[in-house]
Structure 1
Amino acid sequence: MHVVCHHCQAVNRLPPERLEEKPDCGRCHAPLFPGKPVALDAQAFDRQLTRGEVPLLVDFWAAWCGPCRMMAPQFERAAAELAPHVLLAKVDTEEQQQLAARYAIRSIPTIALFHQGRELARQAGAMSAADIVRWTRANLPR
């Protein structure tokens, strides 16, 4: 299984049974699954999407958005529960406007689940941690 390091963007090969062992990146030694959402710019997002084999749950948000700020701690709790089987990431739509436009993000917060280079599902609006976990698990590939 290929896992892209959120810190240095190195692609790490990892047997699926080692996911639970809290593996570190072979290049920079950062945890591959930090248990909290990671911030992605467009380049890091594309690398995760095209090279990583772990499902990617992205929170498209902005600092000025009240519901986004309310959902942030819920998204962080969900990250702790879903890791290492899902990588949770945040994309600031103000800083990454082209990326938000590419995915036609019209409302924030919006979460979108990606796997193997394609979008599986999306949901707009603030959600609780339990709802995020439930929604993600319901939309993961079998």
Structure 2
Amino acid sequence: MQKSPYVFDVDVDGFEERVLQASEGQPILVDFWAEWCSPCLALTPALERTVGAYGGQILLAKVEVDDNMKLAGHYRLRGFPTVILFHKHEELGRFSGARASHWIEEWIDQHWR
């Protein structure tokens, strides 16, 4: 299966440039997840469908927390998955846990539009 052009992996070294600076132009959802986390794995398809539905207006950055604990600590994450929406360098909102695509779309519209 081909990976979506709207989804990319990011680590602590690239976070400033690929998420915070890039969010100046368009909103970026950041999915903090872990391979051992079942709800994280369940959320991934819903997030990918959601960003696909926006047709490139929103991007999805995936941060594997076991390899990037500094980022998880910096954003004071208490559980996984946690998704944070950034736009213009600002955190617009966050949610935790697995959610359906329609819920995520409504959440984005409430926080971004």
Please give the alpha-carbon distance, in whole angstroms, between the structure 1 residues aligned to 2:5 and 2:59: 9
1:139, distance to aligned residue in structure 2 (A): 0.5
Counterparts of 1:5-44 in structure 2, within 5 Å, are 34-35=5-6, 37-44=7-14
- The letter for the 1-side match of 2:82 is T
1:51, distance to aligned residue in structure 2 (A): 4.3
- The letter for the 1-side match of 2:5 is P
Residues 66-115 of structure 1, C-alpha deviations (whole Å, 9 max, x = no match): 11111111111112112311111111111111011100111111111011
- The question of 1:108 aligning with 2:80 is answered yes
SS of equivalent residue, structure 2 residue 84: strand
Select between 80-89 and 107-116 the one with higher mean Cα deviation: 80-89
Bigger proportion of residues as helix: 2
Please give the alpha-carbon distance, in whole angstroms, between the structure 1 residues aligned to 2:31 and 2:78: 13
- The letter for the 1-side match of 2:79 is S
- The question of 1:49 aligning with 2:20 is answered yes
1:43, distance to aligned residue in structure 2 (A): 2.5
- The match for 1:133 is 105
- The letter for the 1-side match of 2:9 is A
- The question of 1:81 aligning with 2:81 is answered no
Runs of 4 or more consecutive aligned structure 1 residues displaced over 2 Å after TM superposition: none
TM-score where L is the length of structure 2? 0.87
Structure 2 gaps of 5+ residues are none
Matched residue count: 108
Identity of aligned residues (%): 37
- The match for 2:63 is 91
Larger Rg: 1
- The letter for the 2-side match of 1:41 is D
Please give the alpha-carbon distance, in whole angstroms, between the structure 2 residues aligned to 1:139 and 1:79: 15
